[in-house]
Amino acid sequence: MAEKKEEKESWGKFFLDILIIWVILIGAYLLLFHFVLSNDTVSGLSMQPTFQNGDRLIAERHAQIKRGEVVIVKAPDEPGALYIKRVIGLPGEKIVSKNNQIYINNKKIAQPWLKQGTKLIDNGSDTFYSETQNFTMQSLMRARTYQQYFTRAQIKYVQDTGRIPKGTYFVMGDHRSVSKDSRYIGTIKRSSIVGVVKVRYWPLNQFKVY
């Protein structure tokens, strides 16, 4: 009887230990994805061909933001929604789009992530990944619908300098002809950038670390 009692106590301790380990692991997971990482799913076509609709990504919160990196941002025009875009212009820079080329501070930048001239069929119509209308920050700011995403001080700064407002980033989708990005919804505040994409883990056959 004593042996059976000890055996029951041993099994009870074993299951309790397993339960404690699971609680610790789940707690660590929740803390990790609340404060350090972000788990997100691509919705839409705006980041093709880099990412496809349904791809699943992990982003690093509080990471340093550099040009060319893909970021998860809080949508300025749709509270609660998240967009996945690429950082093109940094705070205080002058950005110009001309003939499907992007110029930063009067220098053309390389855009290896674009598929210039590659046709894509969307809803029965032909489009192009890299088709980008001509613009400057000043030309964009002429529209009242664009001004709604900026403070008065930012509007004046753009009108006077033609530069991206300080503390904000100019983001665009890789599939330029269908992307709703900083050309339409303004530049993105640092506090509205959830994180920088570091891993695509789904689909498994396209797993990639960035």
H or E element at residue 87: strand 82-89
Residue 125 confidence (pLDDT) = 47
- Do 177 and 85 share a structural domain? yes
Separation CA 180–CA 206 (nearest Å) = 25
- Do 11 and 100 share a structural domain? no
pLDDT tens-digit readout, 81-114:
999 999 999 999 999 999 889 999 999 999 988 8
- Do 109 and 97 share a structural domain? yes
pTM metric for this prediction: 0.84
H or E element at residue 29: helix 2-35
Structural domain span for residue 158: 39-209
| For range 71-78, the mean pLDDT | 96
* pLDDT band for position 22 (cuts 50, 70, 90): confident
Dihedral sign computed on CA atoms, order 66, 172, 50, 115: negative
Question: What residues act catalytically?
Answer: 46, 85
Contact (Cβ atoms closer than 8 angstroms) between residue 68 and residue 113: yes
- Do 6 and 96 share a structural domain? no
Residue 132 confidence (pLDDT) = 86
Residue 124 confidence (pLDDT) = 45
- Do 190 and 115 share a structural domain? yes
- Do 19 and 109 share a structural domain? no
